[in-house]
Amino acid sequence: MQTYRIRVWDLATRVVHWALFVLVVAAYVTGLIGGNLMQWHAWIGLAIVGLLAFRIAWGWLGSTYARFGQFVRGPNAVLDYLRGRWHGVGHNPIGAVSVLVLLGVLSLQSLTGLFGNDDIAFEGPLYVLISKDSSDWLIGLHRQMIWPIAALVGLHVAAMVFYALVRKDNLVTPMFTGEKRVSDPNIASAKGGGWLALLAALLIAGALVWVANGGLIPPPPPVPVPAW
């Protein structure tokens, strides 16, 4: 059977995917160890905010298969897929759910971290905006979420193994090379997501990181401190 090579994942999508993986692992390690690594935990968290913002913006600005409009479908598509009636390229309907869930939980996790505090010496950059009680509640969620999120990531990895071994479909290599072999000559390579789109997505991500780091919060006026 003749196969054709198409470009499925553009470079930005691949870089964000693997950078997100590395930084999420680093966030776990630094958060669980604590101490002076909390400063790194904060920087890593801000970088993750940037990656998530970029990926979400890229869901509109990016190339064909990176766009939400291409892969987000209703529950009927998921049922069709389970019955073997789906023959598209890019994220399959269940993979699409996985993308949205992972982006969603990581966004929430980043958000709760930004408002958090650890009762020791660390405060998130947006902690000043809310009460200590609210911060305690949010950071409690942040701590409770870590194992459910790890389980979702584990499920994601398990799905890759399942596709490789059972469905004989290697999904990992395309996430490195960006290319996939298809048998239908009518399936086109990804288009769009040029330099202008990249610049726009980078600007959106940068602006969001700036806001997340408290860029909009005016610095407190200097208060004279008595010598005692």
Partner 1 sequence: MKAIFASTSAALLTAALASSAVVAADLKPEDQIRYRQAGYSFMAWNMGKIKANLDGQYNAEQVSAAANAIDAIAKSGMGALYGPGTDQNIGEVKTRVKPELFSNMQEVGTLARDFAAATDNLAKVAMSGDAAEVRGAFGAVGKACKSCHDKFRAD
Q: Which residues bind partner 1 (CB under 8 A)?
A: 33-38, 118-122, 136, 139-141, 143-144
In whole angstroms, how close is the CB of 215 to partner 1 at the nearest point? 18
Which is closer to partner 1, CB of 52 or CB of 126?
A: 126
Nearest CA among 107, 91, 108 for reference residue 159: 91
Question: Which residues have CB under 8 Å from 107's CB, separation 6+?
Answer: 52, 56
Q: What are phi and psi of 26, to 5 degrees?
A: -65, -35
Q: What are the tokens at 55?
A: 């990926």
In whole angstroms, how close is the CB of 224 to partner 1 at the nearest point? 15
Q: What are the tokens at 29?
A: 């390690």
In whole angstroms, how close is the CB of 111 to partner 1 at the nearest point? 17
Which is closer to partner 1, CB of 16 or CB of 138?
A: 138
In whole angstroms, how close is the CB of 77 to partner 1 at the nearest point? 38
Is there a contact between 38 and 116 (Cβ–Cβ < 8 Å)?
A: no
Tell the residue number behind the tokens 């776990």, with chain if given: 28
Which is closer to partner 1, CB of 98 or CB of 117?
A: 117
Which is closer to partner 1, CB of 140 or CB of 148?
A: 140
